[in-house]
A and B are shown apart, each in its own frame.
Chain A
Amino acid sequence: MVASPSGSVKATIAASEIAGSCYNRAGMKKISWILAIVFGLAFLGATMMNVVLVGKARAALAGAYLGPRRVGEGPPGDRAPSRVSTEAARFQLFVVIPDTDDSFFSGLLEGISEAAPAAGAAIQVFRYPGTDEGEADRYFEIALRAKIDGLIMYAPRGRRGPSSIAARTAAAERNGVVFIPVGTDAPSGEKGPFIGSGSLLQGIAGGKLIGRFLGSGARVGIIISTSEIESGTDDPLYRGVRMSLSGFPGAEIVAVAETQAGILSGQAVAESMLRSHPSINAVLCSNARDTVGAAQVLVDWGDVGKVLIIGADETPDIQRYIDKGVIAASVVRDSKWIGEEAVRVFSRLKAGEKAPATVETSFLVIKTKEGQL
């Protein structure tokens, strides 16, 4: 360095200050770069997340608007079967059934739903309050005027006039709609296709079970759903029980009671009947709801084992009571088969085949604590 010694020191200090400030700037530059990269990544991440979330939000809207409806996603009164198919079907099939908790109808709907795809049919299920026949008529009328392909409709016994099976069958034929009534028992005296479970057979099976357990000492009370009752002792179920008990002299039917709609109706009727007729040692129920109600009465009273209960159909509650010995046995109607058969008949009719005669399923299963008989 040419400068004086003191000048040289000063110059060194100045150079180091500049170098130091450069170093500090280099440090800040590095930090600012790192932070810029970090915030840039955060920016990209937030953008991507926002895009995904906006997409999800829009999908939530558009999916509900455009997508197929599934069970549980539709309106409460419009419960569709638990399957979705976006493929176009060949036929549109109405299913009109009462809005009841009877497991018969859930089995029926299950059968129809499973058989429909094979038949190339898309089904529309309409439920109406069990006692509101006007609502059922409305759906029937819509089906005819909308010119759908087929209509599977619950047809209780005892309907007369335009609501009779015959009248509806004729009206459907005029509008080119295949009409298939389903139910428990075919109306007596009416022609045309009908697919049902056969309450007479159910009564016979139940009566045999009572005779087997109680023999001639059987004092039987029968609980029948109002919608199914025809007229007291003319009810097929009653007749079936009576036919079976005739083989056990001394055994008798003490009481026949009718239940209304509602989940507690069976329990109330069973309680009333058992109070009115203390001699009853066997109760035969026509559906699952009444079976559970009667069993609950025995549990509440602590009379389990004192009264023999022969139930109908199969639900988890009934199975539980059977396992506990509250219910002796249950005559299970194969309503699922009825549903499947109804779709098969629809297919045959659409194919131009002749309408089959009345079909009543004879496939009944007896469930007991020991298993299936």
Chain B
Amino acid sequence: MILGTVRGKIIANSALILLILALTTLYSGFASLELTRSVELLFRSNRNMESLRDLLGSTETGLEGYLTTKSSDSLKDYIRSSTKLSDEARSLNQKIVQDDSLLLQRDLAGLIDYYLEDTDASVAAKRGRDVAAYTARYESSERSAELARFLIAKIDGIFISNSLAAYSGYSAQISAVILSNAALVVSASLLGLMLLLRFSYKLTGPISSLAEAARAVGRGEYDSRLPALDSADEIGTMTAAFTSMQESVRLAFEELKSKSEVEKRLMAERMRVLELDHKLKDAELLALQTQINPHFLFNTLSAGMQLALTEDADRTAEFLDNLAAFIRYVLKPPARSVRVSDEVECVERYIWLLRLRFGERYRFRLSVDEDALSVETPALLLQPLVENAVAHGLRDREAGGDIRVVARLEDGIALLAVEDSGEGMSREEIARVMRESSGDDGSQLGEGGIGLHNVIRRVSLATGGKGHVEIESSPGAGASVRIYLPAGSGS
């Protein structure tokens, strides 16, 4: 339906405004025309009187012509004029009403009848060649004509007087009519203007909202909502489509935003990896640097050993030899895989060095199963445990401390254990060590926990979780740290 479209609405609204203005103009013109016609009405009676006067004159002329020449043309003129005069007289008022002009019309009608009786009688007498008769009737008719003209003038006077009085009343009203006409036109124009404003707001309101929403979308604000528009025209369709599009764009942007967040997190992770990589490089560099020094240290220790042999200081040479071998083993990369035999050898050298330091203060025993020596194991598992046992478990023992190192194979599982008779650990300490070792966040380690922690983690990492460490201890009853490794495990 065309009224449901914007074009239809514009046409309908414009037509309504034009209709109001057109009706106003038509009414104003019609009223003016009616007033003009009313004014003409004022003088209609005077025109009737003028017509009567003319007919009276033409009848007289015709009669005189006939009476003087007796010509048929004059007679025809007379008959034509007198007939018209009679008709006009009959159109005058015949009623007896208390009104001066109406009664005068009645008088005039009677006079004209009287006049026509005389003229007809005069014509008849003329035909009968009765000179005296037609002369007398002619003179009588002339008197009637004179009296008729007198009455016509009197009626004219009344009509003109009345017309003037009426025109005075009319003039008194006409200025008010003109003013009200002006008020009518002005109010119609203002009404049209207001309707125009009303319709323009109605039509452009949704468009403005749409434009506002489009600007908001342009600024990247997709959450603005268009007011609901209950319209089936093009603007309503556009609004619905825009709202739908806005929703789609908003969802797409939210999705993009989500992806962006993921990418941002990924990027941060990469940055962290890069940073770690960078740190690793630094560490490797540092490691290289540290590898330089051991060579120097080993060479120096070897030189010292040679010097000791040269000077026959065999014990010093043995010391330097064991120290150099121990340091060489320790300073190798800890993530490497070695055999249990290597571990045992490292522990033996370490114990030799400890005995050199502590004498017979501690008693060391090694219980090593031959079958277990070939089992692969992460490097440096036993030495840190022995070091912990000496540094922590037996620290407060002046003498009599026992440390037992075990290595055996049980049902395909290699058991590496370090047992001491030291102070032992409480249940809470054991739980804390195990908890800290299982975490991956490098949380704060307790005293002496670094070595044990390192061992536990490396066992877990090297065996892929198949190997594990058990701690059995109680305060004052020593401690036993047992490492279970699947045979064939290693880095």
Contact = CB atoms under 8 A, between A and B. Distances in A.
A229 interface: no
B177 A50 contact: yes
A68 B98 contact: yes
B285 interface: no
B100 A22 contact: no
Given A10-B220, A80-B100, A21 B188 contact: no
A123 interface: yes
Contacts of B194: 32, 35-36, 39
B110 interface: yes
A42 B186 CA distance: 9
A17 B216 contact: yes
Interface string A179-190: 000000000000
A75 B164 CA distance: 11
B368 interface: no
A122 B187 contact: no
Contacts of B213: 18
B173 A8 contact: no
A53 B224 contact: no
A74 B102 CA distance: 12
Given A74-B100, A83-B98, A61 B167 contact: yes
Given A36-B191, A57-B174, A146 B107 contact: yes
B45 interface: yes
Interface in A318-355: none
A212 interface: no
Interface string A78-93: 1010011111111110
| Interface SS of B by simple majority | helix
Given A14-B219, A32-B201, A88 B170 contact: no
Contacts of A69: 99-101, 158, 162
A49 B180 contact: yes
Contacts of A45: 187
B169 interface: yes
Given A61-B38, A65-B166, A146-B107, A15 B225 contact: yes
Nearest to B183: A46
Contact of B104 (A39, A46, A124): A124
Contacts of B232: none
A159 interface: no
B194 to A, nearest CB: 4
A11 B224 CA distance: 6
Given A18-B216, A18-B226, A74-B161, A64 B198 contact: no
Given A50-B180, A64-B166, A92-B106, A142 B151 contact: yes
Given A29-B198, A74-B158, A10 B219 contact: yes
Contacts of A7: 220-221, 223
A91 B114 CA distance: 19
A208 to B, nearest CB: 42
B358 interface: no
Interface string A121-152: 01110000000000000100110011110000
A22 B216 contact: no
B191 A40 contact: yes
B201 A29 contact: yes
A125 to B, nearest CB: 8
| Interface SS of A by simple majority | helix
B207 to A, nearest CB: 11
Interface in A160-176: none
A58 interface: yes
Contacts of A62: 38, 41
B31 interface: yes
A14 B162 CA distance: 76
B357 interface: no
B438 interface: no
A80 B103 CA distance: 12
Given A62-B38, A145-B110, A75 B173 contact: no
B208 A36 contact: no
Interface in B84-131: 95-101, 103-104, 106-111, 114-115
Contact of B224 (A18, A54, A64, A84): A18
B219 A50 contact: no
Contacts of A36: 191, 194-195, 198
Interface string B2-41: 0000000000000000001000100110010011001101
Interface in B133-154: 143-144, 147, 150-151, 154
Contacts of B108: 146
Given A15-B224, A43-B188, A124-B107, A85 B180 contact: no
Nearest to A89: B96
Given A36-B198, A124-B104, A46 B227 contact: no
Contacts of A50: 27-28, 31, 177, 180-181, 183-184
Given A54-B177, A86-B97, 6 more contacts: A12-B223, A53-B176, A78-B154, A84-B98, A92-B106, A146-B107
16 contacts: A7-B223, A25-B201, A47-B27, A53-B173, A53-B177, A54-B35, A57-B38, A63-B169, A64-B163, A65-B44, A78-B100, A89-B98, A142-B111, A142-B151, A145-B110, A146-B110
Interface of A: 1-3, 7-8, 10-15, 17-19, 21-22, 25, 28-29, 32-33, 35-36, 39-40, 42-43, 45-47, 49-51, 53-54, 56-58, 60-65, 68-69, 73-78, 80, 83-92, 122-124, 138, 141-142, 145-148
**CB-CB nearest 10 A-B residue pairs:** A64-B166, A60-B169, A146-B110, A11-B223, A14-B216, A57-B173, A36-B194, A42-B187, A46-B184, A39-B191
